[in-house]
Structure formats: structure tokens, C-alpha cells
Amino acid sequence: MIEITLTGTGSPMVDPNRAGPSTLVRAGNSTFLVDCGRGVLMRAAAAGVGAANLTALLLTHLHSDHITDLCDVITTRWVTTIGPNPLPVIGPPGTRAVVEATLAALAPDISYRIAHHADITGPPDVRVQEFTSGQVWDEGGVRITVAPTDHRPVEPTIAFRVEHEDAAVVLAGDSVPCASLDDLTLGANALVHTAIRKDLVEQMPAQRIRDILDYHSSVEQAAATAARAGVDTLVLTHYVPPLQAGQEDQWRALAAAGFSGRIELGNDGLRVQVG
């Protein structure tokens, strides 16, 4: 069994009720955080998970809304752990430079805490691995593979397939439909996909917002990817515009037109069990 918790269903469009994009994946004794948008540690705490308990941080891409709280994850894990607790971070090429720049920005904080606490003797131990495809994790009965997605001009971007016992979940991140995401998702139990309402975004007057139409999947496109892969469950997240209370059925109907399985969407904290 794998349990998915939507720890952030928001987007760069600030919504007081939606944290930035992130998803918690629990499999066996492992807990993975996929992306770390605005407010993620507050939502993870509500789900019973602290930064110190994360098995690894997985990043689909380096768009700011998906990594705003990287600093919070790194520093909170560092200061709330007694003893060594390196943080594995797996992301696309470019991740190491972002982590190093984050640590560089934290240099004053790191020096203050090392000077003040006798038991903090070094900076946060962050271990970055960069991938665009292949198997990236095989520990504790959990296997993770990645494949490239298509979020151009943002590249490289990756999706994660997490497998544990008989369950498999794919976390697509931001992407338009593409063959490599289809291949990664084939035969999984669930697909967690970011989605935008193209019908609503098209009507927005600001070109800056309409610019997002060409590199995200619409609800219908995410549903079509789920249908091609034959998954049982589609979990939609990262709603643009923000999903308003009472609109859930509209979103669900758009997905159901092209996908006959279970469709899950909703508020931060939504939990979905698969397998």
C-alpha cells in the first residue's frame, strides 16, 4: 500500500487555504516529499511528518513555486535532528547548484548555530543526486524510477514512479502529455498530476497568465494520460486557477469525460491510499 497526501495543492496564485505544490508519499517505513512549495512543512506537520522524518526529498523541477520552501526543509531538518541525518535530494540536473546556492544564502544562519550549539558541529548535510531517467532509489522495499517530462522551456523536468510491494504511484509534476510520461505511468495504480483549467485560464485578461497554457496539462489532458496508462486512480493537484469550494464536480466532470477510473481532488491534506 502507498499513501499519498496532498501537502500543497496551490500554485504561484496565492490562496490562503492552499499551500504551494508538494505531495507526501508514504510507502512501508519510508516517507518521501515530492516538491516543497510554500508552506509545505506546516501541511506535513498536519499529516504527522516533520522535516527530520523525511526519507528523501524528490524534486520534479526547479520552478520556484515547487521549491520555495527548500530552505525551510533543509534548515528545519538540521536544527530539529539530534545526531547525523543527511537529507537525500533527488532532482533533475541543476538541483545541486540550487541546493548549493541555498546553503550559501544560509551561511550566516549556519555560522550562528554552529557557534551557539555545542552539538551542531557542521552545516546541513544535503546529498544531492541528479537524474533524468532510470532507477534512482532501492531501499526499504521501495523502488523509485524517473523519466523526463515535457514542461519546456523549463528543462530538464522529471516524473517519479514510486513502487512498494504491489503498489505503484507516478508523480508527474508539471508537464504536457508526452511519451516518456506515458511509459513511466503504464500499469501504475495511481497518477498524481498537476492540472490547470484551460477553459478558465484562456479567459483571463493577463497574457502573463495565459502564457502558462502551453506548458501545463489541462484537466482533460491529465485525464487522457491516466487513461492511456491504464491507472485506476487519478489525483489532481496544483489547481490553476485555485479550486474554489463547490467547483469540485466541474473539475471532476472534465476529467471523467476522458477517464473512467477514480478521480481524487480537493483540499490540502487530502489522503489517497492505493494498492
CB of 249 to Zn ion, least distance (A): 24
DSSP notation for 41-103: HHHHHHTT--GGG-SEEE-S---HHHHTTHHHHHHHHHHH-SS---EEEEESTTHHHHHHHHH
Q: In terms of CB distance, is 65 or 69 closer to Zn ion?
A: 65
Rg (CA), the chain: 18
Q: Taking CB under 5 A as the rule, which mask of x and - marks residues 85-124 in contact with Zn ion?
A: ----------------------------------------
* Beta-bridge mates of residue 193: 173, 236
Cell numbers placing 153: 522551456
Stretch that binds Zn ion, among 75-83, 93-101, 132-140, 170-178 (CB under 5 A): 170-178
Contact at 8 Å (CB) between 195 and 218? yes
Cell numbers placing 40: 509545505
Q: Is 65 a catalytic residue?
A: yes
Q: In terms of CB distance, is 43 or 63 closer to Zn ion?
A: 63
Cα–Cα distance between 205 and 127 in angstroms, integer? 43
Q: Taking CB under 5 A as the rule, which mask of x and - marks residues 124-163 in contact with Zn ion?
A: ----------------------------------------
Dihedral sign for Cα atoms in the order 90, 140, 6, 168: positive
Q: In terms of CB distance, is 27 or 62 closer to Zn ion?
A: 62
Nearest to 90 by CA among 127, 53, 50: 127
Stretch that binds Zn ion, among 24-32, 58-66, 98-106, 179-187 (CB under 5 A): 58-66
Q: In terms of CB distance, is 65 or 163 closer to Zn ion?
A: 65
Cα–Cα distance between 113 and 74 in angstroms, integer? 14
Cα–Cα distance between 192 and 3 in angstroms, integer? 12
Nearest to 184 by CA among 216, 139, 217, 136: 136
CB of 151 to Zn ion, least distance (A): 5
Q: In terms of CB distance, is 163 or 174 closer to Zn ion?
A: 174
Stretch that binds Zn ion, among 57-65, 183-191, 204-212, 252-260 (CB under 5 A): 57-65
Q: Which of 18, 43, 63, 198 binds Zn ion (CB under 5 A)?
A: 63
Stretch that binds Zn ion, among 80-88, 138-146, 173-181, 244-252 (CB under 5 A): 173-181
Contact at 8 Å (CB) between 29 and 11? no
Residue from 35, 65, 69, 174 carrying the catalytic annotation: 65
Contacts with Zn ion by CB under 5 A: the residue count is 3
Q: In terms of CB distance, is 9 or 185 closer to Zn ion?
A: 9
Q: Which of 174, 191, 222, 237 binds Zn ion (CB under 5 A)?
A: 174
Catalytic residues: 65
Query: Which residues here bind Zn ion, judged by CB under 5 A?
Result: 63, 65, 174
